[in-house]
Chain A
């Protein structure tokens, strides 16, 4: 098996050195179907946690700790063999999940590379060396003697870059200068007689680049295989799991009533103004204005209202009343009521549909006449600015929000909006419209001593 795993026991201290797998080929292991899904979900938590951390602009040291914590929380196993197996299996399952579109591949590549980078760094130097030879990088570790003779020059190079040669950096690798053109071009390595002396953090970049390039190609191949054979072959077994994993949202689903119990129909107008996130405010305003919403909007707003605590009867009354200028009561009962009941699990399969998460909402593309989706993503700049101002966001905060939008951090934009509107910080960030609602109500209650 190509698991690049080695349980090498160092004779001196009996430590098991296990290497980072390189995921070169799919493992011929037997996996239980549940594990197939669960392992992937655990790994997905790690990757999403990384994604979240990066979006928030966490500093490198913070990321390092975050990644370690995430790994420990989700992927650790007392037995090293089990841990490695889970590591490899989960990676390959997620490859299937995330190979299917350009955007998914980009995200997965980025997160896996970041994960790899941190895991490489916290590995032992033996493990690092072994990994480098796996990549066939012609790096030789510099002996202590050679290091001593070069220490001055190495220090000089470090200081010329505004860094210092810490004891921790005393691991250097020697490699032909042609192998590290970027470092040579920037005069970031000491070169002598054709050899470049590369510091450990520079080595990390090189190894990670190799990993990334390999995984990028592998994902394309996986996608081809998926579309041509696997998806069909596995349509009754793995394919549904794979397809569901992609859109899986891993937080609370707000399908059960939360602490604030019910919202009655007469409260909606009020809470819409104070506690709805922009996406739902917009839909709400539109339904009031147009007396209609297309299907996507009805689903997004309708399920949200359910999560907020609107009971079925109130929901039916609400929509019927709003649609009344355009849709007669009979027609409403015939064409719309069924779907609303369906959403509440009273029809058909009786699935109790869960309100959409931000991730899901962001991913849809509203068409002509639609008002659902994420406004931070789809509104024109002008419209978005105007909408934010109407919500009461200060012009300074509007700029910060727009900055996030330009960088495509839509959830962060919404978080900043929340913070601006409520005057309090939202550390957890917004991941779900119902979370926005609940947090908003909490803030307002603590301010006023009552639900708005």
Chain B
């Protein structure tokens, strides 16, 4: 992270506090955050999104909709307050600016305003219950620690980040092509993963059972320390979604990027992990023998990993292999290294709270910016704007007459624009249509009833 020089000699320094007026120390603290919420956080856009078209302009709007959404704030010192709700953009904005939460989570839309939930809990009829919630996914790179050797835990670099990229591609394609969803927002989680928000009306109204079904549809990697084989692909052929993911994304990525970059077959420790996945011990021994004999790179200039992978493939896929378990072994290996590893619990329940986009991650200072799934190869987590960087950019820009759209003169501008044009506007258009259609349908129904 580079520190940039702020301009000198400005009287209206935005940053208060000790130290030079030039650079903005690379930190995350409440003061910075306050300025961020004051000038950069897109309150109005978040409000429009969460309203889903219920802005009161059309008679078919549900004016109570936004007010029934739960937000939760994590304040400084880890104080956590749930069941926050707001009735207008102003209320939302003021509360955020005042409380300056280190993290904002978004929960479901309930049957009644969460602030009034106690009144309804008394009736014992379970009237306080989630009624709508986006279909969400959470993918975390620390779940891939067994297949990346460059980093562990919370660290991420450009070598291993592509695992997230391919996860986005696989899931995004399936959500659109298989499930027919259209309004999908992918967001960088600020440190080591990505979140996905599926916002179609149909998705928001899914029951827990239906969410679980979708999560199970995506569930292929059964990761567990106790099993060697975490992927099992029985059947004569792969299910269409799996076949498509393999041929369009996973195979290419594994063979051309992951294999050489992570040196998956270069050393004994690493290639043993792959050999363990071959159910036929004689095949595994044959490969082991060959590779042990050939410890140094061979004459060819080709990467040793690729050479060995070709050897493995040619044995396993040769016509001679009749054994049942070997039929899909190559695919199973590729899947076990590259197939998306979702956090199932996040997706299965309507009441799961998920971090809001455009929050700042306290540990990295990075903003949770949207990712364009059509361009996710270009996304670089190491260059995502940080809090201090944004404040510096604000400083450099100088004072402005209007406080509107301050984000536009910072690196955040790109993200907000993308959010609006690629996601929010199409979504709202579709919501308006839905509201209108359902309103007209109701009118028609009551007309029919009356005409008796």
Contact = CB atoms under 8 A, between A and B. Distances in A.
B213 A191 contact: no
Interface in A164-215: 177-178, 181-182, 184-187, 190-195
Interface in B240-254: 240-243
Contact of A187 (B179, B180, B207, B241): B241
Given A162-B235, A178-B206, A192-B178, A156 B217 contact: no
Contact of B202 (A156, A184, A187, A194): A194
A184 B216 CA distance: 8
A80 interface: no
Nearest to A187: B239
A160 B238 contact: yes
Contacts of B209: 181
Given A191-B178, A191-B179, A194-B179, A181 B210 contact: yes
B237 interface: yes
A181 B179 contact: no
B177 A157 contact: no
Contact of A181 (B213, B235, B238, B241): B213
B217 A185 contact: yes
B214 A184 contact: yes
A190 B177 CA distance: 11
Contacts of A153: 240
Residue among B206, B214, B239, B241 with most chain A CB within 10 A? B239
A191 B218 CA distance: 13
Interface string B375-407: 000000000000000000000000000000000
A194 B237 CA distance: 23
B180 A156 contact: no
A316 B216 CA distance: 70
A192 B180 CA distance: 7
Interface in B194-248: 202, 206-207, 209-210, 212-214, 216-217, 234-243
A188 to B, nearest CB: 9
A159 interface: yes
B266 to A, nearest CB: 34
Given A178-B210, A181-B213, A192 B177 contact: yes
A181 B180 contact: no
A391 to B, nearest CB: 44
**A: contact size bracket:** 20 to 34
A190 B210 CA distance: 16
A161 interface: yes
A276 to B, nearest CB: 51
Contacts of B177: 192-193
**B: contact size bracket:** 20 to 34
A156 B239 CA distance: 6
Contacts of B178: 191-193
A157 B179 contact: no
Nearest to B219: A185
A187 B237 contact: no
B237 A156 contact: yes
Given A191-B178, A194-B180, A181 B212 contact: yes
Contacts of A182: 213
A190 B180 contact: no
Given A184-B213, A184-B214, A185-B216, A159 B180 contact: no
Contacts of A195: 180
Nearest to A152: B240
A156 B243 contact: yes
A181 B179 CA distance: 12
A185 B212 contact: yes
A399 B212 CA distance: 41
Contacts of B240: 153, 156-157, 160, 190
B212 A162 contact: no
Contacts of A184: 213-214, 216-217
A192 B176 CA distance: 9
B235 A160 contact: yes
B237 to A, nearest CB: 5
Nearest to A164: B236
A157 B240 CA distance: 7
Nearest to B236: A159
A22 to B, nearest CB: 25
B331 to A, nearest CB: 12
A257 B216 CA distance: 64
9 contacts: A156-B239, A162-B235, A162-B236, A177-B179, A184-B214, A185-B214, A186-B216, A194-B179, A194-B202
Closest 8 CB pairs of A and B: A194-B180, A181-B213, A185-B216, A160-B235, A193-B180, A185-B213, A160-B239, A159-B236
Interface of A: 153, 156-157, 159-162, 177-178, 181-182, 184-187, 190-195
Given A184-B216, A194-B180, 5 more contacts: A153-B240, A157-B240, A160-B235, A181-B213, A195-B180
